[in-house]
A and B are shown apart, each in its own frame.
Chain A
Amino acid sequence: MLNEEMQVIFIFIERKRHDEFFDIFIVQGDYMNLSAYINIIFNGICIGGLYGLTSSAWSFQCGALKFANFAYGASLMATMYLTYFGIREWNIPAFIVMPLILIFNFGLGMLMRKVLLKNENRGTQIITTMALNLIIINLVTFVFTGFPRDMALLEKRLYITETISIGATQFTAFCLSAVILIGFNTFLKKTWTGRAIRSVVQNRDAATLMGIQSEKILDQAFALSYLLIGISGMLLITMFQAEPNYGNYIQTIAFVVCVSAGLGSLSGAFGTGILVGVISALIQTLLGSQWNDIVLFGLFIVILLVRPNGIFVSKKNVAKTF
C-alpha cells in the first residue's frame, strides 16, 4: 500500500513538472454521456453494498461488542482462499463448501474470542489481533503462494436499457447483503437472544443479574459476527481475486466506513458502504484511478473533523449502539 502511495505522489509531481496536469484533467470525462455515468454509479452502488455488509461485521465487533479485531481482514481473506480452494482446487461441490466455510468461521470466531479476546484491555486486543493478522497472512502465503486466485466466473450483465447494465453477480451480492443485514438487525431487535446480546453489551452486570450468561452471550455474538465475515468472503471471491494482502485493503475500507457511519450502527455501515462505493467510482471516473485512495481518505479526515461520532449519528444519540 505504501509503495502505491509513493507511486501516486511521484506521478503527481511528475505531472506538475511536465505541466500536463490540466491537460489530462480536461480530457477526463469530456466525452462521457449520461448512461456511462449511470453505469458507473450502479456499479459503485453494488460494490458499495457489499463493502457495507463486510464493514458491518467489523462495526458490530468493534462498536457493539467493543472488541478491537484487527485480524478481521485476514479472516476475510482466509475465507476467500478456502472457498476458492474448496471449489476450484479440491473440487468439493459448492453446496458442501458453503456450510463448511460457515462452520469454520463460527469456530474461528469462538476460538478467537476464547483465547485472544478474553483480555478486555483494548490495547492488548489490538496488538494480539494484529499479530494474528500477520500470522494468517504469512500462513496463507506459505501454503497457497502469493499468486492471486480467481474463481474465473464470468458475470452476466442484466440490461436495463440498451446502454445501461448491471452485473448479475454484483446485483445479487447487493441484494443478499441487504437481506442479510436486515435479517441480522431484526434478529438483534426482535429475538430474545438478540436482546440479550444488546443488554450484555450495554450493561454487563445488570444483564447477569437478569439471569443472562454474559460471557457465553458475548462468545456467541462474536462467533455470529464471524458468520457475517464468512458470507462476505464467499460473496467477494465470486467477484474479485484473492491475494494475501486483500484483507488489509478490506480492513482499511471497513475502518473508513465504520468510523464514518458511527461505530456500531449496522444500517449506517450499509449506507456508508454504498456511499463509499459511489464516491470511489466517481473519483476514478472524474479524476483518475490513482486519486481514489487520496481523495477517499481525505474525505474521511474531513468527516471525522466535522462529525466525530459518525455521519449517521446525531449528537443526542452518541453512544447509541444499534
Chain B
Amino acid sequence: MMLMSVENMNVHLGGLHIIQGVDFHVNEGELVVIVGANGAGKSTTVRTISGLNPCASGKVMFEDAEVTNMSAADIAGKGISMVPEGRQLFPELTAKENLLMGAFHYRKNRKLVQEQLETVYNMFPVLKKYEGRIASTFSGGEQQMITIGRGLMSRPKIMMIDELSLGLAPIVIESLFKVIKELNATGMSILLIEQNARQALKIADRGYVMENGVITMEGTGMELLNNEHVKSAYLGL
C-alpha cells in the first residue's frame, strides 16, 4: 500500500532549477533508499517534502491526501518525521530535552510522551544513561542517536533520514544502520537518503538513484547493488 508518493516534483533554489521532475514512492513498511553523489539534490528533496523549501510544481501525497507545500509544522503533525542532515540538534538542550522536543505536537498527553520516551531509551540505552548531559557534548554517533530518537519521539508513520553516515566512523555507521534495519523491522516506513550507497542499499527494500536533480534509476536493493553503472559510479568497483 502506497504510503507516500512524490509526483513530478520541481524545486527552484537560489535561482537554480535544482529538482527537475522527480517521481518516487514509499510503500507501507518499506525501507526505501535514495543514493546519489554530493549535490545531486537528495537533501533538497526531503527538505521540500518536510515543508522547509517551497515546491514549485508537482505533488506530494501522503496517505492519499495531498501535503504539497503545507507548513512544516503541519507536515510534522501528519506523521512525516525528518532526521535532518548534519544532526541538527538543539545544542544547548540536554539529551532528554532534545528527545522531548520531538513530542511537541502531542505534548499535552504526558503518559504518551513518557511511553514514547521509554521506547526510545530502549533503543538507545546510552541516551538514558546520560540524559542530563548537554547535547553538544556527545560524540558524533551519539548525537545521531539523539536525532533519530528525537525523530522517533514524534510517533511518525514515516521517517526520512538524511545522510545518516556523514562524518562518522565506519564502526559507528555500521551499528546505526543496524538500528535502522531493526526499526524498519518493527513496521516503521523509512526513506533513507545516503551518499554511502553500499551500506544503504544492503538494507534497502527498494532504491532510487538521483543524479543532478533527476531520478535516473530505480530498482530493488539487490538489483541496484549489482548494477554496473551503480557499481562503477557509487560503489567504487
| B76, A210: Cβ atoms closer than 8 Å | yes
What are the interface flags for A135-177 relative to B under an 8 Å C-beta threshold, 1 for contact and 0 otherwise? Answer: 0000000000000000000000000000000000000000000
Residues of A within 8 A of B107 (CB): 192
Asked whether B154 lies within 8 Å of A210 as measured between CB atoms, the reply is: yes
CB contact list, A190-222 vs B, under 8 A: 192, 195-196, 198-199, 202-203, 205-213
Contacts of B104 in A (CB 8 A): 192, 196, 210-212
**Residues of the B chain whose Cβ atoms lie less than 8 Å from the Cβ of A320:** 92
Complex interface bits, B94-105 against A, C-beta within 8 A gives 1, otherwise 0: 000100111011
Identify which of B50, B72, B81, B89 gathers the most chain A CB atoms within 10 Å of its CB.
B72
* CA distance in complex: A170, B76 (Å): 49
A192 to B77, CA, bound (A): 17
Report which B residues bind A (CB closer than 8 A): 50-52, 71-74, 76-77, 81-82, 84, 88-93, 97, 100-102, 104-105, 107, 150, 154
Write out the residue numbers on chain A whose beta carbons fall within 8 Å of the beta carbon of B82. 209
The answer, yes or no, to whether A43 is at the interface (CB within 8 Å) is: no
Task: Identify the 4 closest CB pairs spanning chains A and B, nearest first.
Answer: A211-B105, A211-B76, A206-B88, A208-B72
Is B101 in contact with A202, judged by CB distance below 8 angstroms? no
B183 to A: closest C-beta gap in Å: 18
- The answer for the CA separation of A195 and B88 in the assembled complex, in Å, is 16
Specify the chain A residue showing the minimal Cβ separation from B51.
A208
Residue on A with the closest CB to B81? A209
Chain A residues lying within 8 Å of B93, measured Cβ to Cβ, are: 195, 198-199, 202
Contact B72 A199 (CB under 8 A): no
Least Cβ–Cβ distance between A263 and chain B, in angstroms: 14
Give A209-237 as 1s and 0s: 1 = Cβ < 8 Å from B's Cβ atoms: 11111000000000000000000000000
Complex contact A209–B92 (CB within 8 A): no
In the assembled complex, how far is the CB of residue B201 from the closest CB belonging to chain A, in whole angstroms? 26
A sample of 16 inter-chain contacts (CB < 8 A) reads A192-B107, A195-B93, A196-B101, A199-B101, A203-B88, A205-B52, A205-B84, A206-B90, A208-B52, A209-B81, A211-B77, A211-B105, A211-B154, A212-B73, A320-B92, A322-B92
- Report whether A205 and B92 are in contact in the complex, using a CB–CB cutoff of 8 Å: no
Neighbouring A residues of B154 by C-beta, 8 Å: 210-211
* Chain B residue nearest to A264 in the complex (CB): B92
Do B92 and A211 touch across chains, with their CB atoms under 8 A apart? no
Q: How far is the CB of A315 from chain B (nearest CB, A)?
A: 14
List 17 extra interface pairs beyond A199-B101, A211-B154, A212-B73, CB under 8 A.
A196-B101, A199-B93, A202-B91, A202-B92, A203-B91, A205-B88, A206-B84, A207-B90, A208-B72, A209-B52, A209-B76, A209-B82, A210-B76, A210-B101, A211-B73, A211-B74, A212-B101
Query: Is the Cβ of B101 less than 8 Å from the Cβ of A195?
Result: yes
Contacts of B102 in A (CB 8 A): 210
Tell me whether A321 is interfacial, beta carbon within 8 Å: yes
Task: With A208-B73, A210-B76, A211-B154 as known contacts, state yes or no: A321 contacts B92, CB within 8 Å.
Answer: yes
CA distance A205 to B92 in the complex (A): 15
- Is A180 part of the binding interface, using a Cβ–Cβ cutoff of 8 Å? no
Question: What CA separation (Å) do A212 and B72 show in the bound complex?
Answer: 9
Q: Nearest-CB distance from B147 to chain A (Å)?
A: 8
- Minimum CB–CB distance from B193 to chain A (whole Å) comes to 15
Q: Does A302 contact B (CB under 8 A)?
A: no
Complex formed: what's the CA distance from A205 to B97 in Å?
A: 17
| A203-B52 in contact (CB<8A) | no
Q: B77 — which chain A residues lie within 8 A by C-beta?
A: 211
Contacts of B88 in A (CB 8 A): 203, 205-206, 209
A94: Cβ under 8 A from any B Cβ: no
Q: A192-B104, A199-B101, A205-B84 are in contact. Are A213 and B73 (CB under 8 A)?
A: yes
Least Cβ–Cβ distance between B196 and chain A, in angstroms: 23
| Smallest Cβ-Cβ distance to A316: which chain B residue | B137
Q: How far is the CB of B168 from chain A (nearest CB, A)?
A: 19
- The distance in angstroms between the C-alpha atoms of A210 and B101, with both chains bound, is 7
Write out the residue numbers on chain B whose beta carbons fall within 8 Å of the beta carbon of A196: 101, 104
Candidates B50, B76, B90, B105; contact of A199 at CB < 8 Å: B90
Q: For the complex, give the distance between the alpha carbons of A63 and B2 in Å.
A: 47
A13 part of interface (Cβ distance < 8 Å) = no
Within 8 Å CB of A205, what residues of B?
Answer: 52, 84, 88
